[in-house]
Structure 1
Amino acid sequence: MLLAAIVPGFSTVLNTPNNPNAQRMTMTLSLPKLGHRAGKTTDDRWQSITLKPGQTLSGVFEELGIPYDQLARVMQHPTIKPTLRKLRPGTVLSFNLPADGSVRAMRLEAGPGIGDSPIELEFNGDALRERAVPVEITTRTVVLTGEVGRSLFASARALGLGSSQLEQLTDEMFKYDIDFDSDLSEDDRFSVVVDQTWKNGQLVNTGPVQAATFTVDGHLKSAFRFMRDGKPEYFTPDGRSLKRPFIRMPIPYARLTSGFGGRNHPILGTFRMHKGVDYAASTGTPIQAAGDAKVEFVGQKSGYGNVVILNHGAGKTTLYGHMSRFAGIHTGQRVAQGAVIGYVGSTGMATGPHLHYEFRVNGVQVNPLKMTMPPPAPLTGDTLVAFKSDTRHALEKIREVENVVFQLDDGSRVASATPAPKAGKRGNRRKG
């Protein structure tokens, strides 16, 4: 079961259903009415028709009983005339048809072939006048919550979340706390707080995740977005950063094929030190920067083939070898952690497409899989106070919605102190 609870703001209190065991909650959402004239009472009666395959504009006019001479005026109007050629099934036409049987206005709703804004014509006797339709843009904070189900990706899509929001959940917020391949069960839950922008009653944009929780085995894991030093970052409720200085695996879900240490070289056939780790992936797979860095080198290096070297400061560098191509980066450029710097290939001394990844400290290669780096400094002082003030209502709102939607028949809460045992885990890969 999935639910989208529209929340005007974090501080607004939601109404709890009278039934404590209710499994659903719906909230009335008032959307703006197009064509409304402020301060004027009329007998406007708008009727909308969605064009079906084979349906024509003349057929719509005939169905609504609108005189042919009005259709002729519409067909010749300089703004509408070129648009009529682009009408297609699914286009929405709205007509203002007062009780006296006349036609007061016609509107082509925004959509493919029409544009981002409606086009409205006003009938006034023998005159036909184009009228500007007020554009009303509103931003609403919403809590979207649901069960993981058979696929987290599909469940998130059904709630209206896009790939960018899902990647924020899996790659930025809970990457180190949840194994999305094996930790989640179908009945585990997640809630997401986002800002949605509506234009004339139509959803046009969903912003980045402001806060989110996962309830896994009865344990509630939370993350909150907060601007630090002008950059967005995700934190735990007590102000600890969820970001790590370095990504251990620069290719998500890649397969480790060769570790750090001595081995027989697959091409040379001699025993020699392997001073990095290899991840197998198909040609063209994006390679990410392991951490914030300055590009130190982009080019070819003997057996490495196409290679990128990033300088992370404090004597730490990372090397990425055997790339098929680079991602438009250049020496001296600053790149953020997770930025795509190139693509998997098999250039240089390689038996097949893979990434050779090295981590160096003062020029000496070390095992990247055993590196332990201190996390970023937690929030303190006034910054921590501001963070807690901004996020307190978000967490309360998520918990409130979860308790309403997912309260169990026995009255137990979502994040119980003692988690109930589960029969087993079912993988939920990001792509579903």
Structure 2
Amino acid sequence: MNYRKLITIPQKCVERALNHHLSWLGVAAALPLFGMVTAFAIAPGSQRTPAVEVEQVVQQLALPAFKETRSTTRYWREEPVRRGDSLARLLNRLGVGGEEARRFLSSSPLSQELMKLKSGATLSVETNDAGELFGLRFLNDDENGEQLLVVVEKVGGEWRASADEVDAVAQPTMKSLTIDGGVAASLAAAQVPAEVRTQLAEIFSDRFELSSLKSGDRVAVVYDTMLYQGSPVAVGNVLAAEVTRGGKVEEAYYFAHDSESGAYYDHNGDALKQGFGQQPVAGARISSGFGFRRHPVLHTLRMHAGVDYAAPTGTPIHAPADGVVTTAETQNGYGNVVMVRHKGKLTTVYGHMSRFAAGMRTGKALKAGDLIGYVGSTGRSTGPHLHFEVRVNEQPVDPSSAALPNPGLSPSQKLAFREKSDAMTGRLAMLRSIPVNVAQLD
């Protein structure tokens, strides 16, 4: 065998590879691999990792004893009074402990008559996390048909009712909603108070029925909320409202004629309601308007549910519109009182009369201008006057804006109306621009 030929074979292969251009590409591609291998081969300190022994230890640990702590901070909570509610049921719903509620009910300084809460009213209670009761307040009707702010508090472990003067502050509240299904249900779901719903229906009643609104229609309203010590206790007048129905916008703005009366007007300053054709007492002035005032006899904050006409004893009182007498009797608060049902859901009340007109009785039909009785000071009264109320579905509304003749605005009044309505227009525009339902207490 020729060994020399065997030796020259590798040499020829290398020479042939060096002369072929693709061979250089293969060498270049392989260099990183060789480099890695080389680096791995010369890496210092490479030792085989020894096996780690793992031992599992299970130990049951005792948890520290849980001690429940409750805040002793007092706070106020509100709950609307529903039909059939009792004070005990309301206290239970507000988280007041059963034993605490029973102690209050057994030692309450309130009379049973005042303890009867009115459906639609709001009960506010002061409690802590433990359900301990410290105070409550609510509005209730007295025998004179006015609303009394009842304030009851625990002092030194004893319950007492406060009859001191109470300062209530009016705060504007804004609500905006889109009707979804029924009108009443939509307004209630948006937490629009019953008093405001009644006012809205009456404000626009000469133009459309509020119940006729359809899904997709919108309601925006600005009204006063009466605050006592920072918490709402009652609802005041609607200040402005905007109803969009079928794409058409209806607006209402309240304008005060004087310190005791006012009415609602559209953006042009035209009265929204025509009202009755006459006043119950011709030529008399309104001495006390609708709303909150300090009662002159009881010296407590009261909701004056009507207007008072100052007039001498014996001044004739006439029916301002057609109707049917539903009540003609003597009561402790109203004295000699007559109630008249008019068309629709409207009722008028005439209190403190010195005497009734001849033949006045329940069921008697009256025509506008018929004699009802005479001004007096019977019942709970400080002097001769006519107490005149207007109720819609038994809910008192402002007679000066709902039933009494609405005077046109003079040029100077129109200027003042425009200044006030512009501010409310801005609020309504803001509510209109918000695509969702809002409820805001400023």
Q: If the TM-score is normalised by the length of the shorter chain, which range does it land in?
A: 0.3 to 0.5
The one of the two structures with greater contact order (alpha-carbon pairs below 8 A, sep at least 6) is 1
Q: Which TM-score applies when normalising by structure 2?
A: 0.41
Q: Of the two, which has the highest radius of gyration?
A: 2
Using the size of structure 1 for normalisation, the TM-score is 0.42
